[in-house]
Structure 1
Amino acid sequence: MGRTVQTGQSDDADVIVVGAGPGGSAAAYHCAAAGLSVLLLDKASFPRDKICGDGLTPRAVAELTRMGVPLREQDGWIRNTGLRVVGGGHTIELPWPELSSYPSYGLARSRMSLDHLLVEHARAAGAKVQERTNVTGPLLDERTGRVIGVEARPVDADGRRAGDPVTYRAPLVVAADGVSARLATGMGLEKRMDRPMGVAVRTYFRTPRHADPMMESQLELWDGPPGRSNLMPGYGWIFSLGDGTANVGLGSVASTAAPTKVDYKDLFATWMRNAPAEWEFTPENQIGPVRGAALPMGFNRGPLYGRGLMLVGDAAGMISPFNGEGIAYALQAGRVAADAAVQATARGTAAGRERALASYGARMKDDLGGYYTLGRVFVKLIEHPQVMRACTRYGLPRPLVMRFVHKLLADCYEPHGGDWVDRTIAGLAHLAPAS
């Protein structure tokens, strides 16, 4: 649990945001743009690397647009027109749909560059950014048990202690501190073991495929020639970055958080040894090591708000069980959290402020809870290899089926109105319990 202290000292900001990934930077930006004083803390110094696929769906693009982030090609972005799905002897290209809610393109940009850009965007909006500050736990009011700040310590570029512990105070703390969720665990909020958990590994390659206009998903990973060797667990991706390189990785997902014994780096090496020669995914063209990360999914930690603490992004398990996408939901959560924080400042009573802050969790669950529930059902189905094999073999050649699946898996459907596919997905998500 966090350290308890007496109240009475002055605050350092209206809002403290811990973690300067996409969710934290989005929360800091929206709060600062609305006039709140914001302190954004991160243990790293930027730019810094982050394990991710580097692909942004149209839903994520819509959030960046709301933030006013420049998205021109000359600003370092590469647009993609859709998703190429490979499996069961089929290759299907699925353009992003034309919708009123989201643009008809995705983007790709390395997290090294993306996260730095978003931190600077928050800083330009007025947020005070403090790097190399390792937040170690929540600061609690001794009388109410409410979070009134954080404990931290300065660190050097290697993460080693570089000064005396310090405390920062604010009436609201936004925990966007990633998979470790140190603030949440410091409040006794443990992850739910019955929620899906993914694992992903990735690296970068110099490749002629660097300007591919489509994101590619490989539904089958073979340890030799396709169809004449053994099928390995998981799925692969190739996201072109337009700068001579591509982000290449693989992942898998389980319906519970129980650990697996799969060596994913070895799996990745086997896949690369059998990749088509024209991709040029060779050891000589590899840039950097293969790195891995856990992917907490389906709201695996909560409540999203309580006692002065909001959970955003990976800290709340906001990754989609359908596709491993987390950036779009982290950006959305940062925006919704900021809106709740701003509304709370307009309330005249403590009870009114709490109702406004609690609206954050309700809005996120209303929008994503049912969809994530469908995702948990999906994961339980595809855990059975025979189900996945049948879906790949018989579903991919059917355009109508793939149109439905594409919108469902990419969370790229019209939430209100649209065609019958949009209405069907929206209806299913609405009917599914948002637990």
Structure 2
Amino acid sequence: MVGTTTDDADVIVVGAGPAGSSAAFHCASAGLDVLLLEKASFPRDKVCGDGLTPRAVAELVRMGLPLREQDGWIRNRGLRVLGGGHRLELPWPELSSYPSYGLARSRMSLDHTLASHARAAGAKLVERTSVTGPVRDERTGRVVGVTARPVDDAGHRSGDEVVYRAPVVIAADGVSTRLATAAGRTKRDDRPMGVAVRTYFRTPRHDDPWMESHLELWDGEPGRSNLMPGYGWIFSLGDGTANVGLGSVSSTAAATKVDYKSLFAAWMRNAPAEWEFTPDNQVGPVRGAALPMGFNRGPLYAGGLLLAGDSAGMISPFNGEGIAYGLQAGRVAADAIAQGLARGTAAGRERAFGTYQRRMKDDLGGYYTLGRVFVRLIEHPEVMRVCTRYGLPRPLLMKFVLKLLSDCYEPRGGDMVDRVIAGLARIAPAA
């Protein structure tokens, strides 16, 4: 069903990352005519840790993706944490809401798989198409489409600008989110901002069943330099390589002012020898990306335009995880859009579209608020030092920390730890 005779689709989705492909898949599965626009061509790379928490896995299961090892996935049991002279292995919790395992897969492969899955569901995927801005209704100012131009593999213009029209548009075009910016959705400076850098190494431990997290990031020699707010990771990919990177966070944009490649080099000089992270084993350069956190751009819906994934700052301040929330946002957005397009009046349609923001804020707003408090605490090196040295040896505390930081807890019911986290998230203001 199409909104008017001049519309090109029921919904236009800009960006075929996890959020955009999830939205396109769920919209197409609901019977909508979907146009999915992607500026690159697949397969294409994205800077990411390539690790998926059980929360993200649950979203992939909802999409009906095959998650077997022969399909390119490697499962992990939980998190191995190192810091303060301690080493602890924390299995993913057994919950009714999420599976008890995580996954890892390179974004080069993951994003291609998700976009192909959306196309198989009926979405029309148009690659090498750079969206340049919104199209607005002259009378109401409502977003009713986008302008775009074809580009080559290097991102250079390769054709004339075109206009695509639809009753509703989803901006899932990542951190820079040209579409949301052009529509006047400015980012908030009172939200945390992170930065991550990563590369790949060939390693004999490429099939390690634990996601490894190093909680002590020094900007020089350990114990004789500054302790940074963040962590380093090693995520085995099962294909002969591991994704190795680090991320740091700040309650302001200050996080982007750190020399992360030098910080990464300092960490690599002290990396565990058994992983064999040598220059000869490095695959590709060290690349970095910004991590917008805690709903740093909004509103999530207004005037025909929804924001999903990184374009809305849906990255967790606790751990830098964004894939799970992008997948969730695509699913929730699709439901709101399908309900809205089935309404008989414009007012009814807008009410249904507006449920997207309310549902996302109700579910994640309080949790992200707790995350902002967490960031302000770990910005103090002495807090990080005390937490790693004295917190890791305490099993109950670490169980609490794992569930809180990974957002893997029962929102209703569960054990005492689940009830405490859920209670804190409910009482925290969802700003």
TM-score, structure 2 length as denominator?
0.97
Mapping for residues 78-227 of structure 1, pairs under 5 Å: 78-222=74-218, 226-227=222-223
**Alignment equivalent of 2:225, drawn from 230, 235, 251:** 230
| 2:253 counterpart SS class | coil
Name the residue aligned to 2:12. Answer: 16
Give the direction of change, closer, same or farther, for the CA distance of 1:223–1:137 in structure 2 (3 Å limit): closer
Shift of 1:290: 0.2
**Alignment equivalent of 2:55, drawn from 42, 53, 59:** 59
**Alignment equivalent of 1:244, drawn from 240, 243, 257:** 240
Describe the superposition over 1:216-274 as per-residue Cα deviations: whole angstroms up to 9, x where unpaired. 110013467754x4344242000000111000001100012346431101111121122
Q: Is contact 1:222–1:274 with CA below 8 Å preserved after alignment?
A: no
Describe the superposition over 1:323-352 as per-residue Cα deviations: whole angstroms up to 9, x where unpaired. 000000000000000000010122111110
Counterpart CA distance in 2 for 1:149 and 1:44 is 20
Counterpart CA distance in 2 for 1:90 and 1:290 is 28
**Alignment equivalent of 1:71, drawn from 64, 67, 72:** 67
Alignment-mate amino acid for residue 333 of structure 2 = A
| Count of residues paired in the alignment | 428
Q: Is contact 2:79–2:90 with CA below 8 Å preserved after alignment?
A: yes
**Alignment equivalent of 2:32, drawn from 23, 36, 40:** 36
Shift of 1:276: 2.5
Describe the superposition over 1:338-384 as per-residue Cα deviations: whole angstroms up to 9, x where unpaired. 00001012211111000000000000000000000000000000000
Counterpart CA distance in 2 for 1:89 and 1:61 is 32
Alignment-mate amino acid for residue 408 of structure 2 = C
For structure 1, list consecutive stretches of 5 or more residues without a partner in the other structure.
1-6
- Aligned: 1:325 with 2:327: no
Counterpart CA distance in 2 for 1:40 and 1:346 is 21
| 2:164 counterpart SS class | strand
Alignment-mate amino acid for residue 74 of structure 1 = Q
Shift of 1:8: 7.8
For structure 2, list consecutive stretches of 5 or more residues without a partner in the other structure.
none
Name the residue aligned to 2:393. Answer: 397
| 2:145 counterpart SS class | strand
Shift of 1:101: 0.3
Q: Is contact 1:220–1:231 with CA below 8 Å preserved after alignment?
A: no
Give the direction of change, closer, same or farther, for the CA distance of 1:287–1:271 in structure 2 (3 Å limit): same
Alignment-mate amino acid for residue 240 of structure 1 = S
**Alignment equivalent of 2:293, drawn from 293, 297, 302:** 297
Q: Is contact 1:224–1:274 with CA below 8 Å preserved after alignment?
A: no
| 2:330 counterpart SS class | helix
Counterpart CA distance in 1 for 2:307 and 2:4 is 26
Query: Percent identity, aligned pairs only?
Result: 80
Deviates more, 1:217-226 or 1:257-266: 217-226
Name the residue aligned to 2:378. Answer: 382
Name the residue aligned to 1:281. Answer: 277
- Aligned: 1:406 with 2:398: no
Name the residue aligned to 1:4. Answer: none
Q: Is contact 1:370–1:430 with CA below 8 Å preserved after alignment?
A: yes
Q: Is contact 2:251–2:372 with CA below 8 Å preserved after alignment?
A: yes
| 2:94 counterpart SS class | coil
